[in-house]
Amino acid sequence: MKRLFVASLLLLSAFGAEAQQAGFTRPYGPVQPSSQRLQTEVGYEPKLGQSLPLDATVTDETGATLPLGSYFAGASARKPVLVVFYYQSCPMLCSLQLESVVASLKGTKYLVNRDFTFLAISMDPNDTVPGSVKAKRKITNAYGQSGSEAGFHFLTGAAEEIKKITAAAGYRYYYDEESKQWAHATGVLLVAPDGRMARFLPGVEPFPRDLQFALLEASEGRIGTIVDRAVLYCYQYNEASGRYGAAIMRTLRLSALGTMIALAAFVVFSLRRERKAAPSHTPA
C-alpha cells in the first residue's frame, strides 16, 4: 500500500512537470483562468519565419535608446537572440520564468554573450531604467557566468514601440484594472541573427535539451560543432507542441550508415591482416 501511494505521488509529479513544459502555467494573483477575457486576450503564437520589427525603438539598462535591430548587429552580429517578455512589478510569474530559463541555460553547452544574446523585454510602458538595472543584476547573478553580463539586456519602451514588438511576436496580454497586474502568457522565443523568429518553446521552464537544440537551429549553423548538428539530425522540432522529439527515420538512416561504415572498416581490416599473415613465396 505504501509503495502504491509513493508511485501515485511520483506519477502526479511527473504529470505536473509535463503540464508546465506544455505551457500550462498556474495562475497567479486574482486573475483567474476561467475569465473569458483571459482565454481570448492572452496567448503566445509567434509566426515562425517572420521577422521582428527591428526598427522598433527600445531603451536598455544603461539608459541608451536604440532600435531593436542593434542587438542583431555590431558586437552581437551573427548570433541568435533569446527573447523573454516580462514586466518589472510582476509579483511572481515573471521572476519565476526568468530564473527558470537561466536555470535551463545552465544545462546547455552554450553561453550568453559568447554564443547568443539574451533580451528581456518589458510589456509595461511604465517600467524604468533603474528597474531594468535591478532585474539584470538579479538574473546575471543567478546565471553566475563571468563575462556574460554584456550579453544580457533588459529593455523598456514606449507603449506603441513595445506593442509593435509583441504584436509581431504573437504575444497577447492586457492590463487587469481590478488586480493591477498584467495578464500574460509565458514562453521563450529564439530569433535568428537576421531577426527572423526561428523557434518557440512554451511554458515557464524549457527543458535544457530543447533549449540547446533551439539555440543551435536559430543560430543557422553559427554555433555548435559537427557533433551537435549530428545529434540534432536525430531530433525534430514540433511547432504545435514547441518540443523536440526523436526523428525515427533519421535515426534509423544514421544507424544504418554507421553500421555500413563499421562493416566496411572491419572488411578492410580483415583483408589487411590476412595479407600480412600469408607466407611469402619466392621462386627458387
List, for residues 60-72, the tens digit of each pLDDT value: 999 999 999 999 8
Query: How many structural domains are present in the chain?
Result: 1
Q: Flag whether 47 is in a domain.
A: yes
Q: Flag whether 128 is in a domain.
A: yes
| Position 227 confidence tier, pLDDT thresholds 50, 70, 90 | low
Q: Flag whether 103 is in a domain.
A: yes
For residues 48-54, give the mean pLDDT.
95
Q: The domain containing residue 90 runs over which residues?
A: 27-207
Q: Flag whether 251 is in a domain.
A: no
List, for residues 102-154, the tens digit of each pLDDT value: 999 999 999 999 999 999 999 999 999 999 999 999 999 999 999 999 999 99
Tell me the CATH number at 50.
Answer: 3.40.30.10
pLDDT at 29: 39
Query: Between the CA of residue 230 and those of 114, 192, 255, what are the distances in Å?
Result: 22, 20, 12
Q: What does DSSP say about strands 174-176 and 181-183: parallel, antiparallel, or unpaired?
A: antiparallel
Query: Between the CA of residue 263 and those of 9, 231, 251, 257, 266, what are the distances in Å?
Result: 48, 22, 18, 10, 5
Q: Flag whether 99 is in a domain.
A: yes
Q: Flag whether 9 is in a domain.
A: no
Q: Flag whether 217 is in a domain.
A: no
DSSP code of residue 52: P
Whether the CB-CB separation of 162 and 52 falls below 8 Å is answered with: no
For residues 174-188, give the mean pLDDT.
92
Strand partners for 121 = 85, 155
State the cell numbers at 127: 517600467
